[in-house]
Amino acid sequence: MRHFFIGVEHIFVTLLQIHGSIAASVMQECGLTPEYVVNAVRRKISKGGKERTFVDLRRTIRAETILDIAQEIALEAGRREVNERDVLLAILEEGQSVPVRVLAALGLNDTQKLIDMARSYTMNVDSQQPYIRVIYGAEFDVDEPLDRHQLLLLRRMFYGYDRIRIERRLTGGYSDATLVVVTPIDGDNRQHAAIAVKINRVDRIYDEAKRYEQHVKNKLPSMTARIEEKPYVLEASGIAGLKYTLVTGSDRVPRDLRMVLAKWSAYDIGDWLQKQLFPTFGHTWWRQNRPYRFQAWQEYDWLLPPVLTLEYMTEERSEKVAEVTQLKAPIKRTHLRHIACDDVVALSKFEVHRVLPESNTIQLAISQGDGATRAYQIEVRGVDFEGVTYYRREKIELIYGRVLQTRNEELLNALYALQPDFQAEFRTIRIAPDLEIPNPVIAYEKLLDDYVNGSLCTVHGDLHPGNIMIGPNRSAFLIDFAHSREGHTIGDWAMLEISLMSDYIAPLLPDSSWDGLREFVQRLIDLNGDDSLLDDSQPSLSALGVVAQIRQIVAQCLVVPDVWSEYYVALTFCSLRALSWQKTVSVTARRLLFLVAGVALHELNTRFKPLPPPKTPSPDDTEIP
């Protein structure tokens, strides 16, 4: 803290930092992690100056007073030495110091209750038992239990506690990870602060831990959810877990934004996003933007289905096929255009992007680069992992496969599944007598190559209501950093707008028929033009207020004021992404998002044309007189 004196705050912070101390346990029993309290104290007192104004390191008057009180407490108990409980009680009884004021501000203003709690603890409880019982909270859906490996991992992660209560799953992960809220309970029957645990394959968890170190750790606001410990790995089963320490209110129930969607008004949600989430992280994230010019595919292709999905084929069988198309990396995406369903292809020199043994699948990537956002993926299904092992980043020699579907087919099939009442393969869709919008499953392809003038900053990469948590005093924090990276600034907001469309607005729609939705998206076009047109006579329309407020945030992040092309590009791909999520997104929401993508393309065509590829004068253009 760079202070040249020892005050009560320093003593208190020390007490909290002793592992398993009474002070730390009392805080946890009150639903606050010791780290959170330490951060709050630090935030209140700030760092000291560079120069010291006196030579020795002295105690403040208040610190002396408190140590005197602690001495008295010890003497009354017949002891000569002061112990940690005496010091804690002295701080609480004195009641005027910075830490006590900070505790009061955090909602712990009943000092007498804290004193009673501190008195009731037995010191140095060694409650370590070989077996940790697992119990389930009332909100946990027992129809979807955790498997044996996950339970074993959780026991490993909470070693030292008597039992753990699994409160519930944090749904909303569009990833395949398991996220649960766990309350550890110690041998004294005390509940400690709840912790969110993410369980996934080892490589994903390590990847997230690495991203957290690289992009997130040093850019977090002082009081927010953190990954405090290294990942826990269960070697035998290939899974690993990460703990996010949570910050909860006095009721100890961590809430995510999804849980309040039904309770808060559209205005409240939007207002909270603008006044809490954006300022809290904006300072080190979204406002730290730097100019960034990119082609749309670089940032957004990964949201779309694989360019090719193949069924693995052995070499012997491929020899019986009359025609095999050779694909050798590096290759341009345009070369894949003539490939159709049932063709047999031979892939060579492609890099393995991801290995998914549970579904016998490997993913290859055409584009260079790394991380989860690699563009132009090729998925190979039905790989026999008994015979061959594939590693991430390895370059494959040769793989044969039969094309199950191309990306265009997959998108088109996803649209057919929505039972369109228009021609799914037409270039445009009529949504009003005088208004046609582009068909996104056709028009997206050209957009991938367009240049976008945007900005670059640390992005969360997967911002949706299940990842946004609400702490005490409605403070904002984020979890799940599996996609955090340096990326297109407003991509986060486009993603959030789309997930709110699907989770919040779609269920409110009075009419989920195509006609009803077409009428609704016309309101969206009005909103794109001028948000003052918002009509709050219907819940679904007033819900659009959330979108209007997100747009106000986006307006602050646009690289050129009032030029929305970068946002509509992001919006197009984020909404197309949801089209193939048949299991998790309702038909209504997918229909709505399909039209939202079309409307975004419509805005791009009519009001905000993205930039064509740069025209540098070529030598051939120069006319020689």
Partner 1 sequence: MDYKISVSIMSGAEDGNMLEYSLMRGDGRKTATGWVLTIGRHDENDIYLRHDLYTSRYHAEIICDRGAWYLRDLDSTNGTFFENPDDYFNERRIYGTHSLTENQLFRIGRTWLQFESIE
And the tokens for 43?
Answer: 């935030």
CB of 7 to partner 1, least distance (A): 5
DSSP codes joined into one string, 455-511:
EEEEE-SS--TTTEEE-GGG-EEE---TT-EEEETTHHHHHHHHHHIIIIIGGG-S-
Contact window for partner 1 (CB under 8 A) among 39-47, 348-356, 451-459, 492-500:
39-47
> In DSSP terms, which residues pair with 265 in a beta bridge?
none
Residue 157 neighbours by CB under 8 Å, 6+ apart = 197, 232, 241, 243
Judged by CB, which is closer to partner 1: 100, or 456? 100
If one asks whether residue 2 binds partner 1 (CB under 8 A), the answer comes out as no
The C-alpha atoms of residue 271 and residue 269 are separated, in whole angstroms, by: 5
Closer to partner 1 at the Cβ: 60 or 363? 60
CB 479 within 8 A of CB 196: yes
Binding mask 449-488 for partner 1 (x = CB under 8 A): ------------------------x---------------
Q: How far apart are CA 318 and CA 344, in angstroms?
A: 8
Q: Which of 18, 68, 75, 96 binds partner 1 (CB under 8 A)?
A: 96
Q: By CB under 8 A, how many residues form the interface with partner 1?
A: 29
Residues 4, 136, 581, 608: which binds partner 1 (CB under 8 A)?
A: 4
> Mask of contacts with partner 1, 585-614, x by CB under 8 A?
------------------------------
Residues 48 to 87 in contact with partner 1, rule: CB under 8 A: 49, 51, 53-54, 58, 60-65
Q: Which range binds partner 1 by CB under 8 A, 12-20, 94-102, 434-442, 516-524?
A: 94-102
Nearest approach, Cβ of residue 34 and partner 1 (Å)? 18
Backbone phi and psi for residue 359, each to the nearest 5 degrees, phi listed first: -115, 15
Residue placing its CB nearer to partner 1 in the complex, 44 or 427 = 44
3-class SS string, 48-97: CCCCCCCCCCEECHHHHHHHHHHHHHHHHCCCCCCCHHHHHHHHHHHCCC
Pick the closer one to partner 1 by CB: 326 or 473.
473
User: What is the sign, positive or negative, of the torsion defined by CA atoms of 567, 572, 573, 576?
Assistant: positive
Closest approach of partner 1 to the CB of residue 575, in Å: 36
Residue number, 4 or 267, with CB nearest to partner 1: 4
Name, in order, each residue with C-beta under 8 angstroms of 167's C-beta and a sequence gap of 6 or more.
137, 139, 140, 180, 181, 182, 183, 194, 253
Binding to partner 1 in span 522-541, by CB under 8 A: none
Give the nearest distance from C-beta 226 to partner 1 in angstroms.
Answer: 18
Q: Do residues 434 and 271 lie in contact, with contact meaning Cβ atoms separated by under 8 Å?
A: no
Give least dist CB 62 to partner 1, A: 3
> Residue 611 carries which DSSP code?
B
Positions 9 through 28 that interact with partner 1 (CB under 8 A): 9
122: Cβ–Cβ under 8 A, 6 or more apart, which residues? Answer: 188
Q: Which is nearer to partner 1, 214 or 274 (CB)?
A: 274
User: Given the rule CB under 8 A, which of 1-9, 26-34, 450-458, 587-595 is the region that contacts partner 1?
Assistant: 1-9
Residue 376 CB, nearest approach to partner 1 (Å): 46
Choose the binding region for partner 1 from 47-55, 399-407, 535-543, 575-583 (rule: CB under 8 A): 47-55
Q: Which is nearer to partner 1, 101 or 551 (CB)?
A: 101
Confirm or reject binding of residue 42 to partner 1 (CB under 8 A). Answer: no
Minimum CB distance to partner 1, residue 457 (Å): 24
Our CB check for partner 1 shows the closer of 39 and 200 to be 39
Q: How far is the CB of 282 from partner 1 (least distance, A)?
A: 15
Classify residue 169 as exposed, middle or buried by CB count within 10 Å of its CB (0-12, 13-18, 19+): middle
d(CA 210, CA 52): 38
Beta strands in 213-342 (DSSP E): 226-227, 232-234, 239-245, 255-256, 290-295, 308-313, 324-328
* Contact between residue 136 and residue 162 where contact means Cβ atoms under 8 Å apart: no
- Using only C-alpha atoms, the chain has a radius of gyration, in whole angstroms, of 28
| 7 lies in the binding site for partner 1 (CB under 8 A) | yes
Comparison of 67 and 324: residue with beta carbon closer to partner 1: 67
| CB of 115 vs partner 1, minimal distance in Å | 20
Q: Is 280 an interacting residue with respect to partner 1 (CB under 8 A)?
A: no
5 belongs to the binding site for partner 1 (CB under 8 A): yes
Name which of 5 and 581 has its Cβ closer to partner 1: 5
Query: Which of 408, 424, 409 shows the shortest CA–CA distance to 514?
Result: 424
> Is the CB of 61 or the CB of 138 nearer to partner 1?
61
The least distance separating partner 1 from the CB of residue 589, rounded to whole angstroms, comes to 36
**Contact flag: residue 44 with partner 1 (CB under 8 A):** yes
Judged by CB under 8 A, the residue of 14, 20, 45, 152 near partner 1 is: 45
Half-sphere exposure of 167 (CA within 13 A, CB side): 20
Residues 97-136 that bind partner 1 (CB under 8 A): 97-98, 101-102, 105
How do strand 232-234 and strand 178-185 relate by DSSP bridges? unpaired
Instruction: Report the DSSP pairing between strands 5-6 and 58-59.
Output: parallel
Single-letter code of the amino acid located at 486:
E
Does residue number 512 form part of the binding site for partner 1 (CB under 8 A)? no
* CB proximity list for 275: less than 8 A, separation 6 or greater: none
Question: How far apart (Å, rounded) are the C-alpha atoms in residues 470 and 447?
Answer: 36
Q: How many helices (H) and strands (E) does the chain have?
A: 21, 24
Residue 278: φ, ψ to 5°: -65, -50
- Choose between 9 and 299: whose C-beta lies nearer to partner 1: 9
Q: Between 223 and 304, name the residue whose CB sits nearer to partner 1.
A: 223
Nearer to partner 1, 1 or 398 (CB): 1
Measured over the CA atoms of residue 361, residue 362, residue 365 and residue 368, the dihedral's sign is: positive
Q: Which of 17, 18, 46, 95 binds partner 1 (CB under 8 A)?
A: 46
* Cβ nearer to partner 1, comparing 67 with 534: 67
Q: At residue 93, what is the residue type?
A: E
Distance in Å, CB of 10 to partner 1, minimum: 11
Binding residues for partner 1, per CB under 8 A? 3-5, 7-9, 40, 43-46, 49, 51, 53-54, 58, 60-65, 96-98, 101-102, 105, 473
